[in-house]
Amino acid sequence: MKRLLFIFLSLFSFAVVANAQDIVGGLEPIGAITGFSRSDQGITFNCQDKSEVRLYILAPDLIRVRASFKKALPARDHSWAIAKTDWDSVRWNIQEQPDGFIITTDELEVVVHRSPLLIEFRDARNHQTINSDERPMMSDAHGVKREMMFDPSAGTFIAATKKLGFEEHFYGLGEKAAHLDRRRAFFKNWNADTPAYAEGTDPIYQTVPFYLGLQRGAAYGIFFDNSYRSYFDFGHSSQRYAAFAAEGGEMNYYFFWGPSIKKILGRYADLTGHMPMPPLWALGNQQSRWSYYPDTLVEEVVRRYREEDLPLDVIHLDIDYMQDYRVFTWNRERFPDPDGLINRLGQQGVKVVTIVDPGVKYQPPSHDVQSQSVIYQHIELTSQDRNYYVFNGGFFDNYFQKRKNGQLFIAKVWPGESVFVDFTLENARRWWGDLHRAYTDHGVAGIWNDMNEPSDFVDQTGKNQMDVVSYDEGENSTHAKNRNVFALLEARATYEGLERLQPDRRPYIITRAGYAGIQRYSTMWTGDTVSNWETLALSVPVFQSLGLSGEIFVGSDVGGFIGRGNGELLTRAYEVSFLAPFCRNHKVIDGYDQEPWRFGKYYEDVIRKYLKLRYRLLPFLYTTLEEGHRTGLPLFRPLVLNYQTDESVLNLDDEFMVGSDLLVAPVFAANQTSRMVYLPVGAWYDYWTGRKISGGTMIRADAPLETVPVYVRAGSIIPLWPQMNHVGERAVDQITFEIYTDDGGHASTTLYEDDGTSPAYMRGAFRRTSFDVARQGSAFQIKLNTPQGNYQPSPRNFLFRLRTNLAPRQVTVDGRPLLMVSDQRKQGWSREAGVVAVRVTDDGRAHQILVR
């Protein structure tokens, strides 16, 4: 999150620039195949050097490769990242040939060569190679990599190399301070507290060892499921190969075949977990600061938002709401009545999210106080100066991490000396989750997990934690293996705790750190960014890469966290984040204030314009988010996801798309009033003017500060809500559908709805309605299809706005004429310059509207 920034940065600096190293030099290749055996799961190959390689055929397009060097594979097979292990049976066969084996599914051919042992993946349809080993899998038999390992005693350095395609591009790998296309880059995966990071800082907060390769329009994916510190070299060190390696554990990776990127992301979500639907209010605007206190200041911020007619759904409480940074406590001097505060804010439509760091203050009970771990009602409101109930409970139940010698691991974070929970213990996760009653009992709506790399002011590299041992399902493994999954398991404990405490509400959690699979439990933000133009430009490829790594609900601190910005920078930052899933303004404790009104009316008016538009677009954003829940596709997308065969977008990362229908080209420099924009093939509409533009080319777009270039894909229908300043402020008595037909006169969309708060959507309590528009000669048909699901929205009308140069004489609904009216607020139809508007009652049934 933060620290007394520059003091701490100088004292506890972390080496943040990754120096590319030869990660395969000196390693020994795995032995040749000497035999094999087949089972229902797949094939196991025995090697000359006693190594063992197993291929699991999980799906026609998904193969798992697992290897153990110089010994058999262990019986234990566990990963915290994997959500799905019970795959349906797959049709496959194996052919043994003199030089190797061919394993065939309906979509893939996997060729395994005997000597040397090389694995090649081919398209089963045309037998063309998709991806293949450049060298056999390797390990550090002679200790040549020991000097670069975090913990040389933790395991053996392992690596794999893949042939580098001449036209191959690489995407994903989670949160990296780098451009979208990873080609020619080198990365290290090691969760690290890295405030004020800039392009090239590596590693930063998260580890997601999953990437996509794309060549000649066809994509594959590789998920190297290894939680040790890992390395990825995408042709940085050699013209011949891309490589991935780890400082311990197994060679364990999953190969995904597309050729569509979207198909791969869906399969990756199946494997590592689908994002659950967040509450609808989480898409609202959020405001934060380190820190707003006392409670009267929190109320003043909300009052000012309402006074300025600025939308707001959430306000955050940072670390100063606690008693001397003790988690699961309230400072009664600053917040004497949490229930009353949260009630009063709730009456204004504002939810409260509290920060919860993983560091628990090390506080053995005073000698004159009886040690106990009993939690009585509202203990979180009482003074913890002499007897801290959270420390007591974790200590006496043995839930805190220890060093190899059995001593309690004591670090230093905000409370001073602190201990950390061993989240690999099931009982510890349950205990931690249940502690959140300290917040839910008072009406807190969400939890913000910060400092969970985990950060340690003694040593940010993790060396202070090298000999820390976690239970890890009985393996008793060290920090070298568990650092990267710490935040994942903390988020899991929090999520499951909120589910138990409030079974009728969807948990809402924000995290800074994570590992593959984090999307099952938490949304995320990109940590402690700087208020400057370079960081704003970097935010777009960071969001896009997270989306291509399974993390759908992402965002950053709008305007930047560290340093001083200005009105122009803040406004341009909102012109990016008003369409990001997570939209939160957040500032460091000693930074210049940057709430939307701080730089004057001109900038505030523009910010208001985009926040108001975000709220009108909520049905579109929520529908797109639900698509991500089902399919694994991100809301905030690089153009390559929607147009992967277009060579012009392979490394384009200064534009983005929201779903399939909106394209945004922000401005990332001061005093810039226009920019070049690439529009993919097809027709596009300028959102602001309605002008239709042919794509497949670059155009120059006007971009004064008031206007970020936004384009709508022809063939889209964009649903809009009425104006509101928080979710639920008013009944949604009308949904407007803005129709943008393509050159053939067609358009379509789907509207997803549910109650926005409960998990009932998982039991069918949702409504999904599709709409289609088609031109029929000189007429247009608007088709409302029968809704799916059993959710019943409140009574409302649908207003369809069709862009056409035709001058219709009549509009019918199911063959019955509709009255022409002069007021679009009335049932009937009307026309104005270039638009025909049709307003009908939504009765939950299918209808056909004919405009002619």
Q: Tell me: cis bond preceding 203? Omega within 30 of 0 counts.
A: yes
Task: Give Rg (Cα) of the chain.
Answer: 28
Exposure of 91 by Cβ count < 10 A (0-12 exposed, 13-18 middle, 19+ buried)?
exposed
571/374 Cα distance (integer angstroms): 50
Contact 462, 190 (CB under 8 A): yes
Composition of the chain by helix, strand, coil, percent to 5: 20, 30, 50
Residue at token pair 């040690």? 371
Q: Beta 251-257 vs 62-68: how paired, if at all?
A: antiparallel
In the set 528, 551, 655, 738, the catalytic residue is 528
Using alpha carbons, list the distances in angstroms from residue 748 to 661, 679, 691, 738, 850.
11, 20, 19, 11, 15
617/687 Cα distance (integer angstroms): 13
Q: What are φ and ψ of residue 797, in 5° steps?
A: -115, 160
Contact 526, 541 (CB under 8 A): no
267/292 Cα distance (integer angstroms): 42
Adjacent-strand bridge partners of 56: 42, 64
654/850 Cα distance (integer angstroms): 41
404/341 Cα distance (integer angstroms): 45
CB atoms near residue 263 (< 10 Å)? 18
Q: Measured in whole angstroms, how far is the alpha carbon of residue 843 from the centre of its chain? A: 36
842/839 Cα distance (integer angstroms): 9
In the set 151, 233, 422, 453, the catalytic residue is 453
Let me know if 653 is a catalytic residue. no
Give the max Cα distance, the chain: 89
In the set 181, 247, 422, 450, the catalytic residue is 450
Exposure of 197 by Cβ count < 10 A (0-12 exposed, 13-18 middle, 19+ buried)?
buried
What's the residue count for the chain?
Answer: 852
Exposure of 107 by Cβ count < 10 A (0-12 exposed, 13-18 middle, 19+ buried)?
middle
Contact 337, 384 (CB under 8 A): no
Q: Which amino acid is at 512?
A: R
Let me know if 175 is a catalytic residue. no
131/301 Cα distance (integer angstroms): 55
| Distant-in-sequence, close-in-space partners of 234: CB < 8 Å, separation ≥ 6 | 164, 170, 182, 183, 184, 185, 186, 211, 242
| Distant-in-sequence, close-in-space partners of 786: CB < 8 Å, separation ≥ 6 | 845, 846
Q: Where are the alpha helices (DSSP H) in 256-397?
A: 261-272, 295-307, 338-347, 389-396
> Three-class SS of residue 588?
coil
Contact 264, 190 (CB under 8 A): no
CA count, 13 A, side-chain hemisphere, 408: 20
Contact 271, 248 (CB under 8 A): no
Contact 598, 585 (CB under 8 A): no
Q: Which two tokens stand for residue 714?
A: 């022809």
Q: Which two tokens stand for residue 191?
A: 């969760």
Adjacent-strand bridge partners of 160: 244
- Backbone φ/ψ region at 567: left (φ over 0), alpha (ψ -120 to 50), beta: alpha
> Three-class SS of residue 95?
strand
235/227 Cα distance (integer angstroms): 23
Let me know if 453 is a catalytic residue. yes
CB atoms near residue 832 (< 10 Å)? 9
Cite the active site residues: 450, 453, 528
